[in-house]
Each structure stands twice: as C-alpha cells, then as structure tokens.
Amino acid sequence: MKLVITEFMNEASVATLTGRLDTRYDPTLVDNRPALLAAIAGIDALIVRNRTRVDQALLDAAPRLRVVGRLGVGLDNIDMKACAARQVAVIPATGANAAAVAEYVIASALILTRKAYFHSAPTAAGAWPRAALSGGHEIAGKTLGLIGFGSIGRLTARLAMALGMTTIAHDPALAADAAVWRESGVAPRSFNDVLRESDVISLHVPLIAQTRNLIDAAALSAMKPGAALINTSRGGIVDEAALAQALQSGHLGGAAIDVFATEPLPAGSPLAAAPNLLLTPHIAGVTVESNQRVGELIARRVLEWLEAH
Ligand code: NAD
C-alpha cells in the first residue's frame, strides 16, 4: 500500500511507516502543488500537517486515497465534506500537542503580565531601565479567560490554576451544568463576561464561520484596559488591524500571537509595528516532545486504520 507524507514528520515515525508501507516522505511537496498532485495518483494514505490543502482537487488527483492522517488537530485545511463524500477517513492527532500549546500560553501570560522581558537590549547597553520596569504584575490572583474550553483550553486552565490564577471560560457547546465545570473548577461565563473580567484572554476555538473575526474591534474594546490577548488557535479569529490599533493606543497591555490570517505574515502587516507584542511562526504546538507524540500517534492510527479496512 502506498503512502505520501507531504510535511515535516519526526524521523522515527517515518521509519516505522516506511517499514510497513510503500512510503514517500517529501516535506517539500507542500510547497509544490503540481508535484504534490502528481505524487499522490496511486496512494492509499496521505499524511499532512496544517499547510497542505486537502481539497476537492487533491481528492480528484488521488482516486485510491482512503485515509488522511493530520499531524495536529485543526482541520481547517481539510475539506471535511469532500472527504466524507468520497469516504476518505480523516485522523487528527487529538490531544498530542495540547501540552506544548498550554505551556506556550502560560509562558506568554507570564511575560506579558510582568512586561520586564522586552528590555534585554537596553539592559545590555547599560541603560539600566530599572524604574521603568518596576511596575510589572504577578500572575497569581489574576483572571485568565478562555474562549473555547476543549482539550487545550482545559489543560491550560490546569496550569493557570496551579499558578494561582482564577480561571473562567466561554464555550457554547458546554451547558452551564456540564460536569467539566465542577471537575475543573473553571467557572462558565458568557463571551462578554470573559471579555470584561479577564486580565489575560486566551483563544482555543476552531476556525469556523462563527469564530471568524470573533475578536474584532468591539471585542477588543470590551476587554479590560491593560489586559493581554493570546492567540494560538487560528488566524482569522482575531482582526489583526484592530489588534494593532488596540496595542498602539495602549488599551491592550500586550499580546502574543502565534497564528495569522495569512501565513507567513505578509509584508506590511499592521502587526509589524505594534508595541508589547510577541510574535511566533505557528509553533505553539510544536516541541521536540510533541512532534514525537504527534508522529507516533498518527503513524500508529493510520496503520491500524489501513489494517482494519
Ligand atoms: P477542541 O476541539 O478540543 O476544542 C475547541 C473548543 O472550542 C470546543 O470545546 C468547542 O465547543 C469550542 N468552541 C467552538 N466554537 C466556539 C465559540 N464560538 N466560542 C467559544 N468556544 C467555541 O480543540 P483544541 O484541541 O483545544 O484546539 C483549539 C484550537 O487550537 C484549534 O483551532 C486548533 O487548530 C488550534 N491549535 C493550534 C496549535 C498551534 O500550534 N498554534 C496547535 C494545536 C491546536
């Protein structure tokens, strides 16, 4: 049986798959669509990360394809309807990178709340900006607001509560009496209450019609003055021009953004000049450990699926 892997996958998992299937591992395929479409003509299985568009054209180019492994959890690069119509199974790496994202959120929350870490250069240059940096805050006792209380939101809440944060969350899929609120100690709130009450807001929702531009200018202005925003979920959920404006005006105290409406970030992005902003290139879920967990999980589950069907 034939497998093509179009994006980065950890070496040990590629070796496992190569031992069992006729495997082509070529992480350059994601950036060469014609070569990708040619390479998949006779495949039974495909493994992608978040950048390969699994759309109708791709499915048409791979008539034997039966299963897609996704090295991550967001499915917005996969046309799920088209896959279902063709009876192509899609297997995400649910939970396998949650710890990496949750730790990124907590690290960002600490940095944005304390604010002292943006000043290495003046310190090294001898400017000694001690007075300017003595007004940072502690995270204990502050309120973390989570938009989306799924697997990553819940793990982030556990870490935040261990640091003494009060944690509240909004998730329309969970009833106010759902057991998870009692079990986690996280208080359910409306979207607007999360905006109003939180010192740090972290987004953990999928990119769907209801979440596109969820954090727009109105939502940003409803946030507490000086609060911080962290987005590790998907670009398109935050209005980037409005965020840049909220940082410029000082209404927001800071932001950490890992995902963007267009990736890589295009030249001229309003975020490039915004203050108190940490930018990373979609790596919140990517660590040595999570790559290994994600790769092992997807290799195992794709092999199991092919054996069972
Ligand atoms: P999940 O499916 O476990 O949880 C998502 C939650 O969002 C669900 O509970 C759902 O009910 C809730 N939700 C849906 N619409 C909502 C709305 N309008 N308001 C509030 N809540 C809403 O997903 P997860 O594994 O926790 O992942 C969350 C996000 O993180 C996804 O977008 C995923 O793509 C992204 N992610 C990013 C990285 C990265 O490297 N930056 C890594 C992993 C996951």
Residue pLDDT, tens place only, 211-240: 999 999 999 999 999 999 999 999 999 999
pLDDT band at 303 (very low <50, low <70, confident <90, very high): very high
Q: In the prediction, which pLDDT does 234 show?
A: 96
Which whole number is the average pLDDT over 241-270? Answer: 97
User: How far, in Å, is the centroid of ligand 1 from the Cα of 116?
Assistant: 30
- Best substitution site from 233, 260, 294 to test ligand 1's pocket, by max atoms within 8 Å of Cβ? 233
Q: Any residues with CB less than 8 A from the CB of 307 and at least 6 apart, and which?
A: none
User: In sequence order, which ranges of 40-97 are alpha helices (DSSP H)?
Assistant: 56-61, 80-85
Q: What are phi and psi of 277, to 5 degrees?
A: -125, 125
What is the CATH T-level fold of the domain 98-279, as seen in this structure?
A: Rossmann fold (3.40.50)
Domain boundaries, the chain: 2-96+288-308, 98-279
Tell me the residue type at 173.
Answer: A
The pLDDT assigned to 42 comes to 96
- Measure Cα distances from 175 to 149, 181, 188, 252, 290 in Å: 12, 9, 9, 30, 31
Q: Which of 105, 112, 101 is nearest to 136 (CA)?
A: 112
Asked if 234 is an active-site residue, the reply is: yes
70, 154, 170, 234: the catalytic one is 234
Between CA 295 and CA 94 the distance in angstroms is 12
Question: What does the pLDDT average to over 274-281?
Answer: 97
Mean pLDDT of 261-269: 96
Q: What is the mean pLDDT of residues 46-56?
A: 97
Contacts for 279 with CB less than 8 Å, ≥ 6 apart = 256, 257, 258, 265, 271
C-alpha of residue 284 to centroid of ligand 1, in Å: 13
Q: How many whole angstroms separate alpha carbon 247 and alpha carbon 69?
A: 38
**Is 263 annotated as catalytic?**
yes
Tell which atom from ligand 1 comes closest to the C-alpha of 76.
34
* Cα 102-104-106 angle, rounded to 5 deg: 70
pLDDT value at position 112? 97
Q: What confidence score (pLDDT) does residue 65 get?
A: 98
Which sign does the torsion angle of CA 277, 146, 297, 21 carry?
negative
pLDDT tens-digit profile of 151-210? 999 999 999 999 999 999 999 999 999 999 999 999 999 999 999 999 999 999 999 999
**Fold match, 2-96+288-308 / 98-279:** yes
Q: What per-residue confidence (pLDDT) applies to 133? A: 95
pLDDT in tens, 107-128: 999 999 999 998 999 999 999 9
Average pLDDT in the 131-154 region?
97
Residue position matching structure tokens 């290139």: 281
Decide which of 1.20.1600.10, 3.40.50.10420, 3.40.50.2300, 3.40.50.720 is the CATH code for 2-96+288-308. Answer: 3.40.50.720
Ligand 1 centre distance from Cα of residue 286 (Å): 16
> What pLDDT was estimated at residue 297?
98
Taking CA atoms only, the protein residue closest to ligand 1 atom 2 is 150
Q: For the whole model, what pTM was predicted?
A: 0.95
According to DSSP, residue 130 is labeled T
Cα 297 to middle of ligand 1, angstroms: 19
